[in-house]
Amino acid sequence: MSTREEYRDAAIAALGERAYERAGNEYTRAAWLGLAEPREDVNPFTVDERGWVGRGLSHLVTAAAGYRVAGADARATRRGVEGVAVARDLRGSADPVQRACLEEFVADFRAIAGLDGAVEAYETAAQAYRTAAEGIDDPQTKATTPLFEAAAAPLKQLARSQANGEIAVTWEDLHGSDPNQPGAFLAHRAEYKRQRLPGLIEQTVADGYLAAPRGSTAYDTDTYRCPACGSRDVNWVGASTLCLRCSRPVEE
């Protein structure tokens, strides 16, 4: 039986081949397995203190993006509806700050799947962060847990699709400037996404191109060359060796 990581690797390989519907399928399989078994000894029906279930939600968001680019809008819609339902279901077992992050996921599903109410959902998430985060002393630590990193991943992947493969969303972009004000610090995530994510997904769909996520990279290599664009900049991600610039498989 394949693992979540193997399905994710297959999705990334499909992105390199511009097979976006297949990428959506593989991300969906990774999502379902990640939701069913977030991690060994982690209950899939609750949110543990690290929020490992976020990886499954993140894959489901990216599946919706892949389907949108492929023109499979009905499947994208179903992934969005599914994701909203799962994120809402998990809220009951999460702590207050995690619940706000799950509201952020709800907004992401709405924005990327093309559902109504994305702007309002981001406003709900931002307010939830402001209310919940006042009870924690270190929002930076919270923002580096798997749940929060998983919620940031689809945004970063979409953004690099428009940025020649470079990092287009930094930690400073996504979070507020002052961690001593934890509510505003974390609410900035939802506010930033509200401003950027709807436009990013629409441009990605218009371009017909969704980049692979960024992994380990090297610039101006002597060993690799992209047969599609000629770049020698490399992105090792999943089980694939891809062009950093256009996400096509590279040759030695």
**Residue 10, both tokens:** 């297959």
* Stated pTM of the model: 0.97
H or E element in which residue 75 lies:
helix 73-90
Burial of 153 by CB count in 10 Å (0-12 exposed, 13-18 middle, 19+ buried)? middle
Mean pLDDT of 232-243: 98
What pLDDT is recorded for position 88? 98
Tell whether the torsion through CA atoms of 138, 39, 237 and 107 is positive or negative: negative
Percentage of the residues of the chain whose pLDDT score is greater than 70: 100
pLDDT digits over 39-58, tens only? 988 999 999 999 999 999 99
Domain boundaries, the chain: 4-211, 215-252
What pLDDT is recorded for position 133? 80
Rounded to 5 degrees, what angle do the CA atoms 29, 234, 174 make?
65
H or E element in which residue 218 lies:
strand 216-218
Percentage of the residues of the chain whose pLDDT score is greater than 90: 94
What pLDDT is recorded for position 230? 96
pLDDT digits over 164-219, tens only? 999 999 999 999 889 999 999 999 999 999 999 999 999 999 999 999 999 999 99
Residue 6's pLDDT band (cuts 50, 70, 90): very high
Residues facing 236 on adjacent strands:
216, 241
Write out the E strands in 71-215: none
Mean pLDDT of 143-157: 98
What pLDDT is recorded for position 252? 85
Mean pLDDT of 219-239: 97
Contact residues for 141 (Cβ-Cβ < 8 A; gap 6+): none
Q: Do the beta carbons of residue 186 and residue 129 sit within 8 Å? A: yes
As a whole number of angstroms, the distance between CA 143 and CA 97 comes to 10
What pLDDT is recorded for position 141? 94
pLDDT of 1 strictly over 90 = no
Mean pLDDT, the chain, integer: 96
What pLDDT is recorded for position 34? 97
Q: Which of 57, 60, 55, 70 is nearest to 20 (CA)?
A: 70
What pLDDT is recorded for position 214? 98
What pLDDT is recorded for position 157? 98
pLDDT digits over 92-138, tens only? 999 999 999 999 999 999 999 999 999 999 999 999 999 998 778 89
What pLDDT is recorded for position 137? 81
Mean pLDDT of 64-84: 98
